[in-house]
Amino acid sequence: MTTQQESPVSAVISIQVENESGALARVIGLFSGRGYNIESLTVAAVDETRRQSRINIVTTATPHVLGQIRAQVERLVPVYRVAVMTGREPHVAREMALVKVIASGERRADALRIAQAFRAHPVDASATSFVFELTGASDKLDAFIDLMRPLGLAEVSRTGIAAIARGAAIL
């Protein structure tokens, strides 16, 4: 079968789901039960009445498995719509990170300078620490975190990806 020779690609699965207890558990239980991996996960209510939530899951899988993930998620009772966004589907994917750096002296100044270059905002500061807020594509966040590592990187909290298709197309 050709499907076994396909190489894995990274994808964001966006799922519009009824905002009910257990809906998220159904989706992530399906992923773990069928052996699909989850690299990041975000979920929040997105409509005005808070009746629907959007789940964004980043995964890596072959196109055949991505098709299976879509079909398996779509048949869950509380799921409205599913979009699978890979490099072939134009989309915007963003993530936010809060990065705590503990440093003083020259390293503190370096951290601030790099943060400016990355448009990371210091949202908390003490005599010995900063918390930077940074939004962007995941690889930009990775690059920033890597640069902070020798400068006193202490703690990272990331949101995981939120994604949406470019243009007028909607989920």
Comparing CB distances to other proteins, the nearer of 64 and 140 is 64
Which of helix, strand or coil describes residue 52?
strand
Q: What angle in degrees, to the nearest 10, is found between the helix axes of 23-33 and 63-74? A: 140
Q: Which residues pair with 121 in a beta bridge?
A: 133
Residue type at 33 in one-letter notation: G
Which uninterrupted H or E stretch holds 130?
strand 129-136
Comparing CB distances to other proteins, the nearer of 29 and 150 is 29
Alpha carbon distances (Å) from 72 to 17, 29, 105, 160: 14, 11, 54, 22
Tell me the closest approach of the beta carbon of residue 33 to other proteins, in angstroms. 5
Tell me the closest approach of the beta carbon of residue 153 to other proteins, in angstroms. 37
Comparing CB distances to other proteins, the nearer of 73 and 115 is 73
Tell me the closest approach of the beta carbon of residue 157 to other proteins, in angstroms. 27
Comparing CB distances to other proteins, the nearer of 30 and 98 is 30
Tell me the closest approach of the beta carbon of residue 52 to other proteins, in angstroms. 9
Tell me the closest approach of the beta carbon of residue 90 to other proteins, in angstroms. 25
Residues that bind other proteins in the complex, under the rule CB under 8 A: 1-3, 17-18, 21-22, 25-26, 29-30, 33, 64, 67-68, 71-72, 74-75, 77-80
Comparing CB distances to other proteins, the nearer of 6 and 39 is 6
Alpha carbon distances (Å) from 136 to 13, 42, 94, 155: 18, 15, 5, 18
